[in-house]
Amino acid sequence: MKNSPFLLLIGLLLFSFRLYAETSVNVVIAEVKEKENTRNLTLTGTIKAAEHADLSSLTDGIITKLYVETGQFVNKGDILLELDAKLATAQLHSIKAEQTQAKIEFDEAKRRLDEAKSLTEKQLFAQTELAERSARVSITQANLAKVNANYEYQTELVNRHQLKAPFSGTIVARQVDVGEWINRGQQTFELVNLQNLWLDLFVPQEYFAAIDNQKLVKVAADSKNASEISAKILTKVPLINTDSRSFLVRLALENNDNIQVGLSARAFIPLKNSQQNVLTIPSDALLRHPDGGFSVFVAVDNKAIRKSVQIGERVGEQIEILTGLELTDKVITQGNELLKDNQAIQVNNPDLAGNP
């Protein structure tokens, strides 16, 4: 009986240790981190060429020569095909002769008028004759202007027997052959500038104010081994399509290597944010409630304190926390499933614990 107080003390210590072991839970904690609040809108569109034209002749005629083939690169102004221009050229030569004659007649009338004016000053020439010579100058001058206009018109007709490239690019299709008669407006070549590519996207109307024209956009083409490239917002059209309730955003691709016109591509458009930065926690720390809400346990003085939170987007293994936490908080990521509010905890990674 002498040892009964000692045994009682030992019993009390064992009971306390057992009680502590039963109520204290081993946990792992993690820091709340801060990151830039960047949100992306992912959309799919089709890659287009900024310059893409179906070329046609400006006049009718028979093709006498083709200068290019499919797949060939051409510079702006290069001749693509030539039509038979013999009749148009002969007419041009005829008008050229009329132009020479009209110029001679005008020069002669002007000389005779100048001579009459000189004699009139000496009172050696009749006023009536002077008026007639002045009228003759006006007539020949008008005739010369008419012939010059005809010459310019016919010169343009002759030039139209050659089809020239309106811009630099690649011939992707040829629809005609030598010896074929073509009509004005008939398609002859398809020309595409592959150096200047666009991606057109139709964006839901609610994102109009959220798109920042100054930010770069990442684009991934839907082709094998295609790498992600950068693009800039070329234009944001301020017109909503009433059928689709969307508006056009056009991107200019900055690197066109291995990108083909007509490919579909995904664009990741960064959106404007009301906050500059947001807090993030590991997704394992988040607990979902039956009512749809969320909470986390925070380690405070060796206890687990439950805090309700409002979440944002998931980014990999991280969750954005919009409200409910501070940057200095330590959240419990393991051992939190069966925790109760204010329950004792034992932190297993004390290097992060600080003074919990």
Query: Domain of 245: which CATH number?
Result: 2.40.30.170
CA 118/CA 281 separation, integer angstroms? 104
Given 207, 241, 271, the domain boundary residue is 271
Q: Does residue 262 sit in the same domain as residue 135?
A: no
What rounded mean pLDDT belongs to the chain?
87
How many domains, the chain?
A: 4
Same domain, 292 and 341: yes
pLDDT tens profile 84-141: 999 999 999 999 999 999 999 999 999 999 888 888 766 666 788 888 999 999 999 9
pLDDT band at 1 (very low <50, low <70, confident <90, very high): very low
Looking up residue 114, the CATH number of its domain turns out to be 1.10.287
Q: Which two tokens stand for residue 229?
A: 């490239």
CA distance 294 to 302: 22
Other C-beta atoms lying within 10 Å of the C-beta of residue 302: 14
Angle (nearest 5°) at CA 224 between 219 and 226: 30
Residue of 354, 286, 330 lying closest to 32 (CA atoms): 330
Q: Is residue 4 part of a domain?
A: no
- Of 204, 174, 208, residue with least CA distance to 70: 174
Q: Is the pLDDT of residue 61 over 60?
A: yes
- 321 and 300 in a common domain: yes
Look at residue 3 and tell me if it is in a domain.
Answer: no
Which residue range is the domain that position 265 belongs to?
40-50+196-271
Paired sense of beta strands 246-253 and 61-66, if any: unpaired
Whether residues 57 and 186 fall in one domain = yes
Provide DSSP, 27-70: EEEEE-EEEE--EEEEEEEEEEESSEEEEE-SS-EEEEEE---T
Which of 218, 226, 230, 223 lies closest to 254 in space, CA to CA?
230
